[in-house]
Amino acid sequence: MRAVAKIFLILIMFAAISLQAETVQIPEWHKLNAKLNGYPEVGKTVELVVNLESLIGNIPETEVKLLLPENWKSDRISAKMPAVRAGSFSELKFQITPTDFLAQGSIVVQANIIVPKSAIAEKIKKDFKTNSSEMIKTVLNWPDLAKRYADVAFAIFPEESFYPLTGHMWLDYDDTLTPREGFKGPAYYDDKMLSSHQAQTDVEMFEKLSAFMLSDKDFAKNIALSGVDVKKKEYDYFSGLYVLAVKDFKESRYDAATGFVDLLLKKLPEKGVLYENIKISAHNLRALIFWAQGQKRVAEDALKKAFYVNRKHPLQRYILRNIGLLMVSRRDDVTAQQMFKLALSYKSGYTQVVKEALILGEK
């Protein structure tokens, strides 16, 4: 009982500290955002929009500067943001032209904002009954000019540009399966963050965990109470199987790769948005294994299965392109062109598909 009482007391103390932290937190008085209106591509101008919103008080005219990647061009490097009235926003637009590829690109926006101290102090005085004098003193001691930053992260590869950065990015192409000169090979997903050693460990650990759960109905509940996230372990297991399959595929061990893919597809739940990425990736890898072994008809069937996992999924641009490449390898350029057109309907900024569609159009 003493231990329980002690834990309860600690929880109350943490709650009190948390509450105190909230009461002394100075309210947010502005928001600075920046975004690109489109995919950044080398040699093509894209619009950058900077937005400044005032949550408390009026913000006078603000100087905004851009920190661009080296050698990139812009119609201007700095500009004046119009004054912002309380509760409203202003925006600036810049025309940016990328000049080279960047695997980890970033545009930084710096805004030198004049702080509306009086308005913030009035807001604090009105909304906070305790600690208001301390908070107001803090605000009045701030520098008159606040430097604030917004970051726009992106990636530009020769094959495709990415913005915003998401989990729907395949960066690898198997050029051993290139169907014709001027084309790249089919795309696939390769998880570079997970080593094959860690993948093997994750697979073996979850298999042991599964065996314990089958033999003891209370085991899952007990380990959950101890802080083990079984669902996370299961996801790591699926990811591990996929990584092992990719490793064997890249080393041309097709039987071993097929074994891992088949096990993965067998174990994956039939439904669930959480697993759609890995399911599409697995069906696609299975298709490439068949393709590498000369079984193009079976490869096409596997790609169709990937497509029907979720026809609206962003990853389908890769699947449709891969089907198109398969058609090119079978000299069916008409169907290939249709597949490329469909792939571009998912993402118009898929540069590689644009190039390949043009090659087919020239024939």
245: exposed, middle or buried (Cβ count in 10 Å: 0-12, 13-18, 19+): buried
- pLDDT for 22-70, tens place per residue? 445 889 999 999 999 999 999 999 999 999 999 999 999 999 999 999 9
Q: Are 319 and 325 within 8 A, CB to CB?
A: no
- pLDDT for 202-252, tens place per residue? 999 999 988 888 888 778 777 777 788 888 999 999 999 999 999 999 999
Angle 342-45-313 (CA atoms, 0-180°, nearest 5)? 25
- pLDDT for 74-116, tens place per residue? 999 999 999 999 999 999 999 999 999 999 999 999 999 999 9
Q: DSSP string covering 108-125, please?
A: EEEEEEEP-HHHHHHHHH
Angle 134-140-145 (CA atoms, 0-180°, nearest 5)? 140
Angle 257-259-263 (CA atoms, 0-180°, nearest 5)? 120
**363: pLDDT confidence band, cut at 50, 70 and 90?**
low
- State in Å, rounded, how far the first CA of the chain is from the last one: 83
- Count other C-beta atoms under 10 Å from residue 77's C-beta: 12
Q: Which of 129-133, 241-245, 255-259 has the lowest mean pLDDT?
A: 129-133
**Average pLDDT, rounded, for the chain:** 91
The residue assigned the tokens 């908070």 is: 135
CA separation for the pair 115, 119 (Å, rounded) = 9
Six-digit token pair at 57? 């008080």
CA separation for the pair 22, 16 (Å, rounded) = 10
Domains of the chain, CATH where assigned: 28-156 (2.60.40.10), 167-362 (1.25.40.10)
- pTM for this entry: 0.85
The DSSP bridge partners found for residue 155 are 162
CA separation for the pair 319, 346 (Å, rounded) = 11
- pLDDT for 336-353, tens place per residue? 999 999 999 999 989 999
286: exposed, middle or buried (Cβ count in 10 Å: 0-12, 13-18, 19+): buried
